[in-house]
């Protein structure tokens, strides 16, 4: 008689948590490569309300259709997000930070960055907030990672 295989649950490598605190550098919003910041209809509505313009205006000025989805536009030369702006302290910031899309709110806790310690260190090379600030628990990390897949 053959017994069913037992599934052994292996904890992720970041079981003790990971440290991250946004430093406001804007590197996650900047080129040089082209990318996508996916936005939902609800997020388009929140951006419109925040900016005091219509949804249609957000679509025409700040979003582009990619397949069946929408992504925020980038500046043509730098490939920076359209909403990445400079302020008087010579630091860059998000012009829609309070209503930024879920993809932005969940950075750096994306599946691609959590794949391995090496992937996390690679993300750290682009983001000075990784391994700084407060420690996020395994549960927080998993909730943020899963939120990007909804």
Contacts of 136 (CB under 8 A, 6+ apart): 17, 18, 19, 20, 109, 144
The pLDDT assigned to 27 comes to 85
- Give the pLDDT confidence of 86-123 residue by residue, as tens digits: 554 555 788 899 999 999 999 999 999 999 999 999 99
Beta-carbon count within 10 A of 43 CB: 22
d(CA 125, CA 73): 24
User: Does the pLDDT at position 71 exceed 80?
Assistant: yes
d(CA 116, CA 94): 29
Map out the domains of the chain as residue ranges.
18-147
């Amino acid at each position: 008689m053959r017994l069913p295989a037992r599934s052994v649950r292996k904890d992720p490598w970041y079981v003790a948590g990971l440290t991250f605190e946004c430093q406001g550098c804007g590197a996650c919003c900047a080129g040089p490569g082209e990318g996508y910041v996916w936005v939902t209809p609800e997020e388009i509505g929140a951006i419109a309300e925040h900016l005091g313009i219509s949804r249609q205006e957000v679509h025409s000025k700040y979003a582009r259709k990619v397949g069946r989805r929408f992504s925020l536009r980038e500046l043509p030369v730098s490939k920076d997000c359209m909403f990445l702006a400079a302020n008087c302290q010579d630091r860059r910031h998000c012009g829609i930070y309070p209503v930024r899309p879920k993809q932005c709110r969940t950075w750096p806790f994306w599946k691609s960055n959590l794949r391995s310690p090496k992937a996390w260190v690679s993300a750290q090379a682009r983001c000075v907030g990784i391994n700084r600030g407060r420690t996020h628990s395994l549960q927080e990390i998993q909730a943020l990672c899963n939120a990007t897949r909804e």
